[in-house]
A and B are shown apart, each in its own frame.
Chain A
Amino acid sequence: MTTTATTASPRGLAGLEPALNGHQPGWLGGIRRAGLEWVAEHGFPTLGDEDWKYTRVGPILDVPFQPAVGGMKHRLSASAIDGLAGDLGGTRLVFANGYFAPELSTLMALPEGTTVTSLASVLAGDAERLEPFLARPLSSQHHAFTALNAALAEDGAFIQIPPDATIAAPIHLVFVSDAGASPLVSSPRSVVHAGARSQATIVETHVGSGGVYLTNAVTEVILEDGAQVQHYKVQDEADTAFHLAALHVRPGRDSSFSTHALALGAAIARHEVWVKLEAAGAEVTLNGLYLPDGNQHHDNPTLIEHVAPRCTSRQLYKGVLGGHGRGVFNGHIVVGPDALGTDASQTNKNLLLSDTAEVDTRPRLEILTDDVRCTHGAAVGQLDEEAVFYLRSRGVPHQQARGVLTYAFAGEMLQLIGVGPLRSRVESKVAERLNREDTDRETFR
């Protein structure tokens, strides 16, 4: 696929323009223009915006980003991807700077009728198939970054699973950024469409080899009636990078969706999950673990809208915050007037490890009918000194005892990862990170 390069603007993100090349249908051009117009009209979020109250995007806007383009050279190899993102044993689509890299990808046999490919290839060959997904995005609640994604996205994953199909091995989507000398923004857009009663596991891994870059990703998941999708998201970007992502989900009747967001990398990361429960009887689970240290900032906004009756939503987010790290949990549940029999719960727990770390948590409930059972809880605290003492009395040195218990706190989330190779991979990442934390914990008893 060829594209015309967009002009870099001294105004950074605000000045970007979409690549309106000849290969795309007219309706897509309209979407791109609308996205940019939205940004021009509304601008970028500020701290005054309730949903961005704790996340400053100024440092991102200050960078003179250029959009990544397809066909750019990268220095990556399949074995490098194994190292960066792991091999989970199933189909693996790799995207370099947001563009599909077939030479790095592995395709496995999938049930008949299943599509697992790049968005760009569908756009080039059978664009109409994408119109229902791109022309009517799930979320009408734009902010500048999702609007910008709509304007700039040219590639990403497109997964369509036929009714009743079961895909046992996880489908791994690896987004790898390989920024050169100049800052790049990649804008992948992925669509997962799970047919009625189908079952699949999708893993998104975002990694980078260093440098300043921005991943501005949008993933949409549509579940037809009775579908079951497990989604994992590992954000392990370079510490110099920015990561802004939105996961939008529309579950069908009696479907079941779970997502697990693990935030490890990036200087500023914001992973937004939005689920609209418009069909009765659906169940969703949102889990998250964020581990900011150094000067990292991890923001985790979630919005679950209960519109239809008898849906269940569960949320559990945990944060371990060290160094000058800052973590944000901004969970929002809205139960509409017709959502009778809603059962919703939301829990956020945080462990602060350093004097300079900060956590802001806002579990919000907005309830407009009476036939509900909703709970939420948030906690910020330290390790249980009793438990530390217990370990020490068994001969475990103090520092190590704290490490063990900190890991145990995070470990609850790791146990929830159902994909074995992914779990071991994340476990070792988390262990490594918490060990690193240990060394600068002198200020702490």
Chain B
Amino acid sequence: MTDVSSEVREFASREYQYGFVTDLETDVAPRGLNEDVIRLISSKKNEPDWMLEWRLKAYRGWLTMEEPTWQKANYAPIDYQDIIYYAAPKPKVALTSLDEVDPEVLAMFDKLGISLAEQERLSGVAVDAIVDSVSVATTFKEKLADVGVIFCSFSEAVQCHPELVKRYLGTVVPRRDNFFAALNSAVFSDGSFCFIPKGVRCPMELSTYFRINAADTGQFERTLIIAEEGASVSYLEGCTAPMRDTNQLHAAVVELVALDDAQIKYSTVQNWYPGDAEGRGGIYNFVTKRGKCAGVNSKISWTQVETGSAITWKYPGVILQGDNSVGEFYSVALTANHQQADTGTKMIHIGKNTSSTIVSKAISAGHGQNTYRGLVKVLDSASGARNHTQCDSLLLGGDCGAHTFPYVEVKNPTAQVEHEASTSKIGEDQLFYCRQRGIPEEDAVSMIVNGFCREVFKELPMEFAVEAQKLLSVSLEGSVG
């Protein structure tokens, strides 16, 4: 009898495709963190005083906070004084169009399969490309501006739309929300800013591509998306990083605000470098993502495919404040090698007749540890609240782990909350059936895993769904020796 786990063990040793380093000239801050570094970051970005004040308040708050330890993850202590908090590719000239972007940067994005020039011409997806801490290019800006959509780097928004930033920044994820959010609030470098005005359906998908390039840097982006009354937008986020044998910290904050009748769909394919087969290196992905359905009938939907990072902690949540608002969370998380993922969502039901849906598919292979952790909270005001949660875990091999930790807290008697979860190994009957039809074992594993994830993939925009499926399949390549 062939050992399924041997093939699955190989699955853990898949190659990371995006691990190259691009030789960019980089402007970096000195190692470590203190108020001077924050002042430096702020002045590099030519920020107004209020922004600096905001950062300093966050920093002072952070100093009083303790790093959380409740996650199901093991890692060596992070030395926050040994991290570089600001690194930017040095622009050769001031940018006015893509033509002036450093060709090395464009080449890097080409290599990643994201041709910025091509995107601009063909694909109809607006891209904000962020390398290390800085936005290097944003495509389609003018076309979007025609309909009133603002899509730019966060730094630019601070300069050009301070009133919007001031009004919404920190309203969903407060400065002192948690240890990593506080750190981000103090040192965030750049990120994307999207504003969809009243009644506008964003004519194209907006996308940010994050790339960590420099060594020993932390990446702290801040993204803020606002959809005004009746507006809607679909936003995509992708990420990769070079292979390095030290760990790098990524502590981003994403805030979404949906006003009355607005809809925001936020999709992520996270493929940060996961570390090597022995668990050396890889990104620590400690992210705070939260949306607020502030208005009635609003909807926020998170879809994530998490295949990268050495450690992932993220719980994209929705605060369902407006009556009849809807929150969704669709997740695929894959851990192989020594990866650890602790991810899930928080659905906070406040308004009447609010509803939320959670679908989580976790795949563990190698020595991967995969945890779903989710909170569904129904406050006493949330009459008629509904939640349905489905968490399934698939185990490939005997050395990995899959954990499910839901928290359900209900204070309203008219709420209906359902949580279901299952955990099992990949079906040997399914594998045999596929193989009997002539499908090689490795393809069969890939096919079954993709089928297992389909409910989530179908929530992704088309191009992303293809990329996500490819990502899983590539992960399975070379798995049968």
Contacts and interface: CB of A to CB of B under 8 A. Distances in A.
A and B co-occur in one complex? yes
Interface of A: 50, 337, 340, 350, 352-382, 444
Nearest to A363: B406
B401 A380 contact: no
B40 interface: no
* Chain B contact residues: helix, strand, loop or mixed: strand
Given A365-B423, A375-B422, A377-B418, A370 B397 contact: yes
B405 A364 contact: yes
A418 to B, nearest CB: 29
Given A354-B413, A381-B416, A370 B403 contact: no
Nearest to B8: A370
B66 interface: no
Given A362-B406, A367-B402, A370-B396, A380 B411 contact: no
B410 A352 contact: yes
A374 B419 contact: no
26 contacts: A337-B398, A337-B399, A350-B410, A354-B413, A359-B408, A359-B409, A360-B408, A360-B409, A360-B410, A361-B406, A361-B419, A362-B405, A367-B395, A367-B403, A367-B423, A372-B395, A373-B422, A374-B422, A374-B424, A375-B423, A376-B420, A376-B421, A377-B421, A378-B418, A379-B417, A381-B418
Residue in A366, A372, A380, A444 whose Cβ sees the most chain B Cβ within 10 Å: A380
Nearest to B422: A375
A299 B66 CA distance: 30
Contacts of B166: none
Interface of B: 5, 70, 378, 380, 393, 395-426
B416 A382 contact: yes
B417 A380 contact: yes
Nearest to B395: A370
Contact of A369 (B395, B407, B421): B395
A349 to B, nearest CB: 10
Contacts of B413: 352-355, 357, 382, 444
Given A365-B403, A374-B422, A378-B419, 8 more contacts: A352-B410, A352-B415, A357-B411, A357-B413, A358-B409, A363-B419, A365-B421, A374-B423
A367 B411 CA distance: 30
B372 to A, nearest CB: 9
A368 B369 CA distance: 8
Contacts of A357: 411, 413
A378 B408 contact: yes
A337 B396 CA distance: 13
A371 B398 contact: yes
B440 to A, nearest CB: 21
B418 to A, nearest CB: 5
A381 B376 CA distance: 14
A378 B405 CA distance: 12
B111 to A, nearest CB: 36
A355 B412 contact: yes
A379 B418 contact: yes
Nearest to A354: B413
B417 to A, nearest CB: 4
Given A50-B70, A364-B404, A370 B409 contact: no
Contacts of B422: 373-375
Contacts of A354: 413
B420 to A, nearest CB: 5
A358 B411 contact: yes
A50 B406 CA distance: 13
Nearest to A337: B398
A365 B416 contact: no
B423 A372 contact: yes
B424 A372 contact: yes
Contacts, number: 119
Nearest to A379: B418
Given A352-B415, A374-B424, A369 B398 contact: yes
Closest 6 CB pairs of A and B: A370-B395, A352-B413, A370-B425, A380-B417, A378-B419, A365-B404
A358 B424 CA distance: 32
B401 A367 contact: yes
Of residues A350, A363, A370, which shows the largest number of chain B Cβ atoms within 10 Å of its Cβ?
A: A370
A128 to B, nearest CB: 42
B425 A372 contact: yes
Contacts of B378: 380
A351 to B, nearest CB: 9
Contacts of A353: 413
Q: Quick one: which of B408, B413, B417, B422 has the most chain A CB within 10 A?
A: B413
B208 to A, nearest CB: 35
A140 B17 CA distance: 47
Contacts of B401: 366-368
Contacts of A352: 410, 412-413, 415
A366 B423 CA distance: 10
A378 B421 CA distance: 9
A337 B420 CA distance: 24
Contacts of B70: 50
Contacts of B418: 377-381
A314 to B, nearest CB: 15
Nearest to A375: B422
A378 B409 CA distance: 11
A140 B70 CA distance: 21
A53 B225 CA distance: 34
Of A355, A361, A365, chain B has the most CB atoms within 10 Å of the CB of A365
Contacts of B420: 375-377
B306 to A, nearest CB: 19
A366 B413 CA distance: 30
A352 B396 CA distance: 39
A369 B395 CA distance: 8
Nearest to A327: B410
A357 B414 CA distance: 11
A360 B377 CA distance: 9
Given A361-B408, A375-B422, A366 B415 contact: no
A382 B403 contact: no
A444 B414 CA distance: 9
B46 to A, nearest CB: 43
A356 B381 CA distance: 11
Most buried by A among B397, B410, B420: B410
Residue from A50, A360, A368, A373 with most neighbouring chain B CB atoms (10 Å): A368
A187 to B, nearest CB: 32
A359 B407 CA distance: 11
Contact of B5 (A356, A361, A370, A382): A370
Contacts of B397: 370
B49 to A, nearest CB: 38
Contacts of A355: 380, 412-413
A337 B405 CA distance: 19
Nearest to A332: B405
A364 B400 CA distance: 17
Contacts of A375: 420-423
A276 to B, nearest CB: 19
Nearest to A352: B413
A382 B418 CA distance: 12
A350 B419 CA distance: 12
B91 to A, nearest CB: 48
A367 B380 CA distance: 34
B411 A370 contact: no
Q: Which of A337, A350, A379 has the most CB of B within 10 A?
A: A379
Given A367-B395, A380-B417, A360 B402 contact: no
A365 to B, nearest CB: 4
A391 B181 CA distance: 53
B328 to A, nearest CB: 19
A360 B399 contact: no
Contact of A382 (B407, B414, B426): B414
B404 A376 contact: yes
Contacts of A340: 398
